[in-house]
Every structure is written in C-alpha cells, then in structure tokens.
C-alpha cells in the first residue's frame, strides 16, 4: 500500500479527505493517531474518509490491512472547527434598553461550550444555548453599527455580523403633568433619553445634566423613556411651541408641536 497524495492536507471535523495511491484493495482500516476512521474505497487508487470530532492538533495518518501491514505514516493536521453564523435575533437594540431587552441570540452552527463572542474585537460574557445558538447581553456602547463574531478554540473565527445600536431619541407623547403655584411639569415621553440629553423649547436649550440655578425653567431626567420639563408660563392661556430632544452624540428627535400654557 502506498499513499501518494492527501487532499486536503489539513481539515476540520466533518470534512472529507481523499487519499490517492495504490494497493487500496481488500479490507483496509484508516487511522488518525489511535482513532480508527470509517472509510470507503473508491478503487485501487482512491480512498475517502471523513474527519471525526477530534481536538485540533497533529495526528499520525496511516492505513492498516487486516494482516497487520501498515502504510507509511504521514502527519495530518486537524484544524479547529470553524463556527458559522447566520444571523442575529434581534439585530437592532435600543441604546437605553434594560435587562432582557439587551439580550441577543447568535444563530448559526458549530458552537461549543468553549465558544466565545467578540464584540468589536473584545471578548464579552456569553452563554452557549446549543450548537446552533449563543446568547449575550449588548454592552453599553455608543450608537451605530458594531461588529459581532464567534471564536472557537484554536482561533477559528466566524464571519463578522453587524448589530445596530439605536441611540436616536424619539418623542412619542407630550402631556401636562403636576401643576404648582407658578409652574407645571410638561411630561415628555419616548425612548433613548439620556441624563445628558437637552430639550429644545422653541430652539432654546435646556439641559438635564447641568441645571442653571438662575434659570427658572429646567429639565429633569427620570429615565430613558421620560423627561420632565418644568415650565413657568406667564398666564394660563394655551400657546403653541415646539419641543425637541437632542442627545450628546448629536442624535436628535423630530420636532413636536405642543399646545399648552
């Protein structure tokens, strides 16, 4: 028995390998190290086998006949199993989301208990749910597109997927809140409000992060879905004015027309 070529010369588990040579007749057994590998003889010059689930490394590849005769031993590299990624669920997350709303699943294949998730190239905490799914919580980062990748032991990495962090503020509803002697609270509801957000009232900027004690009208940040605008009207006659939210990263909401005192 003579092995003349091995194609490919290295492979990951699950891939097929073809041996070309001579004397491939009768009952032959293929070995990778001490592991016998099921094989199929195509003809006296060709034999095929599939790489089983082996750890990455260098293995002795040889053929043995039933009478004990073996072929020359060759070195064969089993390379790390490359993870495959098909998509993210969801692939868009609100910047101010909390808890479960920050969780994302990577859908793909070839994941294992040692698979790692890379977020913009840095390893983050993740949970392998199955060979086809990994879950992770999106870290608190700036808005925009970010890269997601899965890496298996041996530096076998998947293709890169993109996830979008939506940091654009949005006003969904404006209403009058509690009333006091000379002012009332205008409740601004929506999403992606930050402690550093500014409210523009008819173009005048009011900041929730730096209160000016000399300024009567102020903005108070309650959470990412709610801001309070302390408004001091001259009288109780309804007036038309505009409200807009501007975040520190330059993202701004649409301008909303409000009618209130």
Nearest residue to 241 via CA among 227, 226, 231, 228: 231
Local structure of 261: helix, strand or coil = coil
Nearest residue to 215 via CA among 231, 239, 194: 231
Local structure of 237: helix, strand or coil = coil
Pairing, β 57-65 against β 2-7: unpaired
Q: How far apart are CA 90 and CA 73, in angstroms?
A: 50
Average pLDDT value for residue range 7-22:
94
Domains of the chain: 2-78 (2.60.40.10), 84-166 (2.60.40.10), 170-260 (2.60.40.10)
Nearest residue to 248 via CA among 143, 102, 139: 143
pLDDT at residue 247 tops 70: yes
Distance between first and last Cα of the chain: 96
Nearest residue to 64 via CA among 55, 75, 73: 73
Q: Quick one: pLDDT at residue 26?
A: 77
Q: How far apart are CA 226 and CA 237, in angstroms?
A: 25
**Using one digit for the tens of pLDDT, what is the confidence trace for 18-49?**
999 998 987 889 999 999 999 999 988 999 99
**3-state SS of 126-167?**
EEEEECCEEEEECCCCCCEEEEEEEEECCCEECCCEEEEEEC
Cα 128 to its chain centre, rounded Å, is: 13
pLDDT at residue 212 tops 60: no
In sequence order, the β-bridge partners of residue 176 are 186
**3-state SS of 76-94?**
EEECCCCCEEEEEECCEEE
Q: Quick one: pLDDT at residue 11?
A: 94
| Both structure tokens of 215 | 């300024």
* pTM for the model: 0.73
Q: Is the previous residue joined to 25 through a cis bond, with omega within 30 degrees of 0?
A: no
**Using one digit for the tens of pLDDT, what is the confidence trace for 85-140?**
999 999 999 998 889 999 999 999 999 999 999 999 999 999 999 999 999 999 99
Q: Sorting pLDDT into bands at 50, 70 and 90, what band is 209?
A: low
In sequence order, the β-bridge partners of residue 18 are 7, 48
Average pLDDT of the chain, as a whole number: 92
Cα 137 to its chain centre, rounded Å, is: 9
The answer to whether the CB of 55 falls within 8 A of the CB of 156 is: no
More confident residue, 100 or 215: 100
């Amino acid at each position: 028995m003579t092995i003349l070529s091995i194609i490919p010369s290295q492979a990951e588990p699950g891939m097929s390998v073809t041996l070309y040579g001579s004397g491939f007749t009768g009952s032959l057994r293929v070995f990778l190290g001490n592991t016998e590998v099921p094989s199929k003889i195509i003809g006296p010059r060709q034999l095929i086998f599939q790489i089983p689930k082996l750890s990455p490394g260098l293995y002795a590849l040889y053929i043995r006949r039933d009478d004990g005769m073996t072929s020359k031993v060759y070195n064969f590299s089993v390379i790390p199993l490359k993870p495959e990624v098909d998509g993210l669920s969801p692939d868009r997350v609100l910047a101010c989301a909390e808890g479960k709303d920050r969780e994302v699943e990577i859908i793909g294949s070839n994941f294992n208990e040692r698979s790692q998730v890379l977020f913009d190239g840095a390893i983050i905490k993740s949970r392998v749910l199955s060979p086809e799914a990994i879950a992770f919580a999106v870290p608190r980062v700036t808005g925009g597109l970010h890269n997601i990748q899965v890496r298996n032991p041996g530096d076998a990495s998947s293709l890169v997927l993109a996830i979008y962090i939506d940091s654009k503020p949005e006003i969904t509803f404006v209403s009058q809140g509690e009333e006091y002697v000379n002012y009332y609270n205008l409740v601004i509801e929506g999403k992606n409000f930050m402690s550093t957000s500014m409210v523009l009232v008819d173009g005048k900027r009011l900041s929730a992060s730096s209160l000016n004690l000399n300024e009567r009208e102020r903005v108070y940040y309650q959470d990412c879905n709610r801001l309070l605008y302390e408004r001091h009207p001259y009288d109780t006659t309804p007036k038309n004015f505009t409200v807009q939210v501007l975040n520190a990263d330059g993202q701004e909401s649409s301008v909303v027309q409000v009618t209130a005192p």
